[in-house]
């Protein structure tokens, strides 16, 4: 069996610390063979820079996925063209910098990772994620049956539907974007593991990683407000799956939640 750890949205410096420490810990203890993390909020909560992507990968994170904040840091545009291990959603139009999927050779065999973004309640309306995901999975399965899918979206229904849509053709469909870990982990009938949202890596005493007082004030007054990254102890949330490398079917899924002191 190949053991794959997926970590939820990395929020700012505290989230980077939690994600890096968790990746290193699970790899060292042999609890994971391969680690993926969503890093689209790694740069002070908005986007990711080349430097921060390198920091995450040096900890052992093999692939970084993203979502609607992938373009928030301008220096990421040329970096995406040169670093295939940093993904942007596959359903951007043709000609967009970067790629939405990758297959990496590992000691446990080739492993594919796919990043796709939902459309319901999302600001940037992209190509149909279901059609784009199906087409990309068809290509990936020519190289490996072990495929991890990060479905970045707001609506739980759309993410669950994606899991059902891809059941039997990928190993794991895991949601990102809402920063709140859900408790609906399961393995669908045809062998695809699913979790509606992996949660986040970031300050635990927060609102989605941000200072709670600032967020409450925004909701209370409706006035423009900056949302600094919260302080205090941090949490790393995600999901761990065990996959049969011969057929790509998952045999185990469990949620991950690791707590650390303040950075």
Residue 177 bears catalytic tag: no
Helix (H, G, I), strand (E, B) or coil at 113: strand
Q: Which of 69, 152, 165, 177 is catalytic?
A: 69
Which residues partner with 148 through β-bridges?
A: 113, 172
Using left for φ > 0, alpha for ψ between -120 and 50, and beta otherwise, residue 248 falls in: left
**3-class secondary structure per residue, 219-250:** HHHCCCCCCCECCCCEEEEEEEEEECCCCCCE
Structure token pair of residue 186? 């399961």
| Cβ count near 224 (within 10 Å) | 6
Helix (H, G, I), strand (E, B) or coil at 144: coil
Q: CA-to-CA distance for 102 and 243, rounded, in angstroms?
A: 18
Catalytic residue positions, numbered: 69
């Amino acid at each position: 069996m190949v053991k794959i750890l997926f970590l939820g949205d990395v929020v700012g410096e505290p989230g980077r610390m939690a994600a890096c420490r968790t990746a290193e810990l699970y790899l060292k203890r042999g609890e994971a063979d391969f680690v993926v993390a969503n890093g689209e909020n790694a740069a002070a909560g908005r986007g990711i820079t080349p430097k921060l992507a390198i920091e995450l990968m040096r900890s052992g994170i093999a692939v970084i996925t993203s979502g609607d904040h992938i373009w928030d840091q301008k220096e990421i545009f040329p970096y995406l063209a040169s670093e295939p291990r940093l993904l942007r959603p596959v359903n951007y139009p043709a000609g967009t910098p970067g790629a939405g999927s990758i297959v990496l050779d590992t000691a446990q065999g080739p492993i594919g990772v796919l990043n796709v973004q939902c459309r319901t309640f999302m600001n940037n309306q992209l190509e149909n994620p279901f059609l784009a995901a199906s087409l990309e999975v068809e290509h990936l399965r020519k190289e490996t049956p072990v495929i991890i899918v990060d479905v970045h979206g707001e609506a739980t229904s759309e993410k669950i539907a994606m899991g059902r849509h891809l059941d039997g053709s990928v190993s794991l469909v895991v949601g990102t974007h809402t920063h709140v870990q859900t408790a609906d982990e399961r393995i669908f009938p045809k062998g695809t593991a699913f979790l509606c949202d992996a949660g986040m890596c970031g300050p635990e005493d927060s609102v989605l990683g941000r200072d709670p007082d600032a967020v409450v004030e925004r909701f209370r007054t409706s006035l423009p407000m900056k949302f600094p990254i919260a302080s205090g102890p941090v949490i790393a949330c995600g999901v761990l799956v065990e996959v049969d490398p011969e057929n790509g079917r998952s045999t185990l899924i469990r949620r991950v939640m690791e707590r650390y002191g303040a950075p």
